[in-house]
Structure 1
Amino acid sequence: MSPEFVRYTPEIETIDPNIDVLLEQIINFWEKKGRESPRTEGTGRAVRGAHAKSFGLVKAEVEILADVPEAYAQGFYAEPGRHGALMRFSSTSGHLGTDAQLGPGLGLAVKIFDVPGEKLVEDEPTSNTFDLVLKNNPIFISNTAKHYLFIEDIANNIHAYLARGRAGFHQLLADVLTGRGALKQPDWAWEEMFALVRTATQTPLRNPLLTTYWTMGAMRHGDYVAKIRIAPAVDSAAHAIHPDLDLAADADVFHPTLVDELKASAFTFDLQVQLCADLTAMPVNVLTVEWPEKLSPFVTVGRVRLPRQDISGPENFEKGDALAFNQWRVTADHRPLGEIMNVRRIYSASAKVRRTLNHQSQTEPVSAESVLP
């Protein structure tokens, strides 16, 4: 037992009493975006509402380590062993385009196989998969479902704002702050506006294999509360071919970088847990706040190993596109916490629309090898 860490109780979450109404509106937004995406993105195929552009689907192995401190060895992370996995590297943008156009957000989605236990995704409780959905920034750009709805709509049109230069950028910030004029001044989205600026300007664009990724939101961690990150191991960074990238060099830079690196070398990431030690400084319900490591450092509980492999073929994109990743495809010991993480439950609805339009299977794969032999 570790009394310095916050114990999980359901009361640490705050959820808007009108969440069901807001979720219905958010689902309608994402489903509409998905149905329109074959036309709006110009490919004739439905694309993800977020993380639309894939940089590559990679076969991996996740090892949960032995001798992890008890407070960190909870639930799935309490059983040492090795699991097959798939990792999808992507832009976080909901649009397609050149890598330079899509902004600094990079995503990493991990699907871990052979994880027993009932999962919290309602349509797939018996699947043997366990998902992590992460981004190259420790914070998110909204704290409530109400703010999420209009901020995602604004973000969907961010290119139109930025095309107007300085005036467009100022209008973007004003629209986020005031909810396009719909919010009363006490409800202005100050934290969200500052988070948007931070994520848009302070996230370095790097080789995806040399980038750190966070869950952003908190999750139950057995008896405790945690955030998860996946960070490149120091020895892997030392042999990278492309430590620095020039996005102006070509329309597609990240995918060729992954191809080159993984043909040449294996890579390793550290799978790490940060436990909540103070609900004021490390809030569950405010995702625009980064949890300070000085209060609770990240502790390595596992390794994610990417063997040498060839992901250069066009079928790699097709296989990655057919997968769905969801923060709620976890066991109850790792339940996502807070209003925004509850909102992200609805991503399965937009995934159904996308896969239906693209005539793809709605079922989970049974192993990494069944997708990438």
Structure 2
Amino acid sequence: MPDPVKYNKKFDQLSDEEKELLDIAKNSIADFVEHSPSVSDVNYATRNAHAKTYGVAKGDFLISKNIPGQFQKFFDREKYALTIRFSNAHLKINHHKKDIPAYGFSVQIKEENGDLIANYPLVNFPLFPINSVSTFLKLFTSVNRFFIKKWSSFSLVSQILKVIPSTFTGSFLKNLFKLWSKRNDFLLSFDYHSVGAYRLGENMIKIKLRPKSVDRNYGKKLEVKEALENYLRNSDFTAEVLIQICYDLENQPVNRLNVEWKKSPFIKIGEVKIDQNNLLDPRSCENELLSFNPFESKPFFQPVGKIQTLRKEAYKVSMQTRLKINKLLKYK
């Protein structure tokens, strides 16, 4: 294989126009979170994405014994403690209807002493339909304002129409069809992905979590939350942790998120393990207020790319607003 492309700050840089749009989006995030108790009909302020929690569990990240030597310096222990949150991607908590099959598998990795190593919010769809930062920020702002009744549906539809052309790639359509064919499958049977790239030292990588021996038809007649809880109370869960390395920007583009990386083999670096009956109370204040901001990770594990860069301020504003509101509501 050729030498990997090294990380450079240029991959993250926003234009002045994009920074202005980000400020507008941040205001819409704070506004949405402030209204989220009424939007979702709950007694606490929710996240402005992945608002619904299916479960929270403790787990371990077991490092592969034959991990390539170049990565050993980043993972110098046999295992690390994990906190894992399972969620639905929708901004609004759905209490009655069937959820769309857009799931989150967010992982927090910590040292033995409790110090944070990295946050990885993973999802069950490997691509993102928007490459343009400006287009994404305008759409995201319109979605937030639509849910709090400060923008018309016509405005939202006009922004959605601008996104559609970027979904017409072979990779995106293939994965969309795959998701549709698995729409009724058990949450833990999906592969989970980092939508964008992350640093691993000076290298840039994508991450994939591949479950082992999970029946896709498990809990067919149960609600997603109930099926997940039943499974984790009675069974161990194991998933392989695989990475791809960026070797050239043509085949592994950092800022084109609507195509899959090609010509970069998956490398196994370890496994995620959740022992049976290791669930935590998802409604406890401590667990509801968990943050999976990937920019809180150590520098050599942080996100890469322009769309990823938006997460830094978005997570910060969302978390600050949630903390403020939930303290006033005295959420427990």
- TM-score norm. by structure 2 comes to 0.84
CA distance in 2, matches of 1:115, 1:27: 35
1:214 matched to 2:214? The reply is: no
Identity of aligned residues (%): 25
The equivalent of 1:272 in structure 2 is 242
> Is the contact between residue 21 and residue 138 of structure 2 (CA under 8 Å) also seen in structure 1?
no
- Shift in Å at residue 16 of structure 1? 2.3
Structure 1: which amino acid aligns with 2:300?
D
1:201-228 alpha-carbon deviations (Å, 9 max, x no partner) = 6423321221111111011221311111
CA distance in 2, matches of 1:171, 1:358: 31
> Is the contact between residue 75 and residue 221 of structure 1 (CA under 8 Å) also seen in structure 2?
no
- Shift in Å at residue 131 of structure 1? 0.8
> Is the contact between residue 104 and residue 200 of structure 1 (CA under 8 Å) also seen in structure 2?
no
1:220-242 alpha-carbon deviations (Å, 9 max, x no partner) = 22131111121102xx32xx4x6
> Is the contact between residue 11 and residue 306 of structure 2 (CA under 8 Å) also seen in structure 1?
no
The equivalent of 2:272 in structure 1 is 304
The equivalent of 1:48 in structure 2 is 47
RMSD of equivalent CA atoms: 3.2
Match of 1:321 among 271, 282, 288: 288
> Is the contact between residue 15 and residue 338 of structure 1 (CA under 8 Å) also seen in structure 2?
no
> Is the contact between residue 81 and residue 112 of structure 2 (CA under 8 Å) also seen in structure 1?
no
- Shift in Å at residue 199 of structure 1? 7.2
- Shift in Å at residue 142 of structure 1? 2.2
The equivalent of 2:56 in structure 1 is 57
- Shift in Å at residue 350 of structure 1? 0.5
> Is the contact between residue 219 and residue 227 of structure 1 (CA under 8 Å) also seen in structure 2?
yes
The equivalent of 1:330 in structure 2 is 297
- TM-score norm. by structure 1 comes to 0.75
Q: Pick closer, same or farther for the CA change 1:158–1:349 going to 2, 3 Å.
A: closer
CA distance in 2, matches of 1:277, 1:81: 28
1:4-33 alpha-carbon deviations (Å, 9 max, x no partner) = 432333344553243432221121111110
1:25-83 alpha-carbon deviations (Å, 9 max, x no partner) = 12111111000111121113211100011110011011222331234x16634x24211
1:348 matched to 2:308? The reply is: no
Q: Pick closer, same or farther for the CA change 1:280–1:114 going to 2, 3 Å.
A: same
Structure 1 unaligned blocks of 5 or more: 117-125, 160-167, 179-187, 361-373
CA distance in 2, matches of 1:148, 1:86: 30
The equivalent of 2:207 in structure 1 is 228
Q: Pick closer, same or farther for the CA change 1:189–1:74 going to 2, 3 Å.
A: farther
- Shift in Å at residue 84 of structure 1? 1.2
Q: Pick closer, same or farther for the CA change 1:13–1:328 going to 2, 3 Å.
A: closer
Q: Pick closer, same or farther for the CA change 1:140–1:155 going to 2, 3 Å.
A: farther
> Is the contact between residue 53 and residue 282 of structure 2 (CA under 8 Å) also seen in structure 1?
no
Q: Which has the larger displacement, 340-349 or 8-17?
A: 8-17
Give the number of equivalent residue pairs: 318
CA distance in 2, matches of 1:100, 1:280: 42
CA distance in 2, matches of 1:171, 1:18: 20
The equivalent of 1:369 in structure 2 is none
CA distance in 1, matches of 2:121, 2:218: 25
- Shift in Å at residue 325 of structure 1? 1.0
Q: Pick closer, same or farther for the CA change 1:297–1:3 going to 2, 3 Å.
A: closer
Structure 2 unaligned blocks of 5 or more: 148-152
1:190 matched to 2:160? The reply is: no
Structure 1: which amino acid aligns with 2:327?
H
1:141 matched to 2:139? The reply is: no
1:3 matched to 2:7? The reply is: no
Structure 2: which amino acid aligns with 1:243?
N
- Shift in Å at residue 153 of structure 1? 4.0
1:316 is paired with a residue whose SS is coil
Q: Pick closer, same or farther for the CA change 1:99–1:283 going to 2, 3 Å.
A: farther
Superposed, which structure 2 residues align to 1:162-177 within 5 Å? Answer: 175-177=159-161
- Shift in Å at residue 189 of structure 1? 6.1
The equivalent of 2:138 in structure 1 is 150
CA distance in 1, matches of 2:121, 2:196: 10
The equivalent of 1:165 in structure 2 is none
1:309 is paired with a residue whose SS is coil
- Shift in Å at residue 348 of structure 1? 2.0
CA distance in 2, matches of 1:21, 1:13: 16
Q: Pick closer, same or farther for the CA change 1:174–1:19 going to 2, 3 Å.
A: closer
Structure 2: which amino acid aligns with 1:43?
V
Q: Which has the higher strand share?
A: 2
Structure 2: which amino acid aligns with 1:271?
V
